[in-house]
Amino acid sequence: MSIISKRTRKSTSFGAPSKQSTISHRKTKSDDLVDPRRSALMARVRQRNSAPELEVRRILRGLNVSFGLHRKSLPGTPDITVPKLRYAIFIHGCFWHRHENCSKATTPKTRVAFWQSKFERNVARDARNIASLRKLGWKVIVIWECECRSMDKLTRRLARCLCSVDSSARKIPMR
Mean pLDDT of 64-77: 94
Cβ neighbors of 152 (< 8 A, separation 6 or more) are: 175
- Average pLDDT for the chain: 79
Q: What's the pLDDT at 19?
A: 46
Taking only the tens place, the pLDDT of each residue in 136-175 is: 999 999 999 999 999 999 999 999 998 865 444 444 444 3
Of 2-6, 51-55, 98-102, 127-131, which range is least confident? 2-6
Q: What's the pLDDT at 46?
A: 63
Q: What's the pLDDT at 22?
A: 46
Q: Is 6's pLDDT higher than 60? A: no
More confident residue, 108 or 29: 108
Q: Is 76's pLDDT higher than 60? A: yes
Q: Is 37's pLDDT higher than 90? A: no
Residue 52, burial from CB neighbour count under 10 angstroms (0-12, 13-18, 19+): buried
Closest CA relative to residue 122, chosen from 88, 89, 140, 96? 96
More confident residue, 42 or 169: 42
Helix, coil or strand: residue 167: coil
Q: What's the pLDDT at 160?
A: 93
Q: Which domains does the chain have, with CATH numbers?
A: 46-163 (3.40.960.10)
More confident residue, 108 or 129: 129
